[in-house]
Amino acid sequence: MLTEKLYTAHQNNTPPNILVIGDLMLDHYLFGSASRLSPEAPVPIVNAKKESKIIGGAANVASNLIALGAKVYLGGVVGNDAFAEDVKDLLTIKGISSQLIIKDESRVTTVKTRVIVGNHHIVRIDKEDTHNIAAELEESFFAHLSPYIQKADVVVLSDYNKGLLTPSLSLRIIKHCQSIGKRTLVDPKGLDYSKYEGAFLIKPNRKELAEAAKAERISTNEDLVKAAHVILDATKATYLIVTLSEAGIAIITKEHFKILPVAATEVYDVTGAGDTVIATLAYCLALGLDIEEAATIANHAASIVIKHIGSATTNIEEIIASLKTD
């Protein structure tokens, strides 16, 4: 039974070492009430009552892994601003070291400010730079990463297309992982999946897959498999895990195709659900579970976090409870 296997693997193994590399963000929330429209424009006047800051992007993947019980190393880039200190402070609170976080003087820290009234998301304001990091910075960053790749059980590339995971850096990391027998899991972004060539697993959602494969549509299983094979051919990845929203999760290889039905019953906010899926896949694979077991558990983990507002995490106990009710 999967619940027993997960519990035993979680209890009997030392916490796996997982290296997460990717774009760091700060999710900034303003919660308030609105009872009238502005006289200046047809928009609500929000009376902000509460403010919170949460680490997002690759840092949210790391947070999910910490909640599951992994030992996590996090590599990323921040700007030269006060928000960079917020990111580092929040990482410290989570127990995540910032020693692999580099500062890029040419950019701002990515911040996404969301205004929430009741259960309604009114607006999001983004502050970011998305240019690629300079070649010299890329070189020094990889040199810092190398010893952590060596001791990692699994390496996760959390790509939000904000400039850290350049094609050259992504390929260099993946090739290095291959040379020392490490599996690389990728949460992709953008249209160029050639930068993920050689990855063990790539996890797009349906829309991302359609865009990357230049598919007109993905409305049937046949469309899904056809698009997936375009990416598998281009990247030589072993697995493609495609999140399908209300339809569940698809596991696709060159030879096999399977959809695991969705576990969610209520949806409040899908923010960060993809981070939860890639983190859970990484954790379960590092514990020795097979790909279908890992994807099933990740499906349940996602069903838990989307019942909460904002980027949320879950733990093994909650996942086991969800598996038991399935």
Cα dihedral value 188, 189, 195, 197, nearest 10: 30
Confirm whether 275 is a catalytic residue: yes
Query: Among residues 129, 275, 290, 326, which one is catalytic?
Result: 275
Cα dihedral value 12, 15, 20, 25, nearest 10: 110
Indicate which residues carry an active-site annotation: 275
